[in-house]
């Protein structure tokens, strides 16, 4: 990065004008419907929030509206697992881009049940296994961790999304049982899946999401309360995997055009880490063919261009 980006004199006004542009884009994309509870969301909702290391928060649109964070939750699970397992974790999950759709199963068979990275479903299910095996109440531990990072108790899992995930989770079950057949899952599969589906069904607003990930922009330390969330080395590592694998099969294009470590979810959220500056969280439910939110992509891309945020 060419030094710390300059805070524009009125970031909130810039966010508002980008939001208005996003709302005027020709209708694009489709709300995720493979989980019925996600299909019911109003596709017009759109938001952006920027939290900066100095404690400022700028927002536009529906930035206080909770949405299903889905795969963005994989960041929280990964950090908890890294803190608990240390380097042993990387014997069981690798750190390479997969070049396959997030729920693909073929590569897992070829590669003996070791997922390519923690951000595809197989990798996140593996992480769920480590959490189930190392915490007596892994779901509560995850929720407590997220709430602490966001600085609020007002974060919950959505019960109807959770049940919907469970009812339509056959492919995830196949991934888990395949890894179990290679002895890469320790706990019982139903328990592992239960944690994974719960994690995907957590709801947060853009405002909460941006605040909660500030430690990744600050070498592992929460800049607001000064507490260490993870080591500096692990924060760098999470950002590295986000850069190569956080945006599904569009990760290369995202690195090319935006240049920030980021994670998306099929609920329409994107969280992008701007090292030494802050976090951008954007949300709108309609997705492009890669599973990334059309409007959130637009918002993050335009803001990164305007502020010159690329780390490359």
Separation CA 269–CA 133 (nearest Å):
29
Choose between 5 and 29: whose C-beta lies nearer to ligand DON: 29
Instruction: State yes or no: residue 246 binds ligand DON (CB under 6 A).
Output: no
> At 29, phi and psi to the nearest 5?
80, 180
8 A C-beta contact, residue 236 and residue 244: no
Alpha-helical runs (H) found in 31-182: 36-39, 73-85, 106-110, 121-134, 138-150, 159-167, 170-181
Q: Least distance from C-beta 287 to ligand DON, angstroms?
A: 9
Catalytic residue among 31, 50, 73, 74: 74
Instruction: State yes or no: residue 200 binds ligand DON (CB under 6 A).
Output: yes
Instruction: Give me 272's structure tokens.
Output: 């992008």
Catalytic residue among 72, 258, 266, 274: 266
By rule CB under 6 A, what string of x and - marks binding of each residue 88-127 to ligand DON?
--------------x------------------x------
Separation CA 176–CA 81 (nearest Å):
17
By rule CB under 6 A, what string of x and - marks binding of each residue 21-60 to ligand DON?
----------------------------------------
Give catalytic status of residue 266 as yes or no: yes
8 A C-beta contact, residue 203 and residue 194: no
Instruction: State yes or no: residue 165 binds ligand DON (CB under 6 A).
Output: yes
Instruction: State yes or no: residue 71 binds ligand DON (CB under 6 A).
Output: yes
Instruction: State yes or no: residue 266 binds ligand DON (CB under 6 A).
Output: yes
Query: Would you say 27 is a known binding-site residue?
Result: no
Cβ-Cβ contacts under 8 Å for 167 (sequence gap 6 or more): none
Separation CA 60–CA 35 (nearest Å):
28
**The binder of ligand DON chosen from 265, 275, 278, 285 (CB under 6 A):** 265
Binding site for ligand DON (CB under 6 A): 70-71, 102, 121, 165, 172, 200, 265-266
């Amino acid at each position: 990065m060419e030094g710390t980006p300059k805070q524009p004199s009125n970031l909130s006004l810039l966010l508002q004008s980008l939001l208005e542009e996003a709302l005027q884009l020709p209708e694009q994309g489709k709300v995720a419907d493979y989980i019925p509870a996600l299909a019911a969301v109003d596709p017009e909702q759109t938001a952006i929030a920027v939290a900066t290391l100095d404690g400022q928060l700028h927002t536009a649109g529906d930035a206080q509206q909770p949405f299903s964070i889905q795969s963005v939750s994989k960041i929280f699970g990964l950090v908890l697992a890294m803190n608990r397992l240390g380097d042993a974790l990387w014997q069981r999950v690798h750190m390479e881009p997969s070049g396959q759709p997030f729920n693909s199963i073929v590569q897992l068979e070829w590669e003996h049940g070791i997922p390519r990275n923690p951000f595809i479903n197989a990798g996140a299910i593996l992480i769920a296994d480590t959490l189930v095996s190392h915490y007596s109440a892994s779901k509560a531990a995850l929720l407590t961790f997220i709430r602490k990072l966001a600085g609020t108790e007002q974060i919950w899992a959505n019960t109807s999304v959770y049940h919907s995930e469970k009812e339509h989770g056959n492919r995830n079950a196949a991934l888990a049982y395949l890894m179990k057949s290679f002895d890469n899952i320790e706990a019982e599969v139903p328990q592992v899946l239960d944690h994974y589906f719960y994690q995907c069904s957590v709801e947060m607003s853009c405002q909460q999401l941006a605040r909660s990930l500030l430690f990744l922009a600050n070498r592992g330390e929460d800049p607001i309360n000064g507490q260490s969330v993870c080591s500096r080395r692990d924060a760098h590592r999470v950002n590295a995997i986000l850069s190569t694998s956080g945006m599904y099969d569009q990760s290369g294009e995202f690195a090319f055009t935006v240049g920030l470590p980021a994670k998306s979810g099929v609920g329409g959220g994107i969280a992008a880490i701007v090292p030494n500056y802050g976090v951008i969280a954007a949300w709108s439910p309609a997705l492009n063919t890669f599973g990334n939110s059309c409007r959130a992509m637009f918002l993050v891309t335009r803001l990164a261009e305007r502020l010159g945020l690329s780390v490359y």
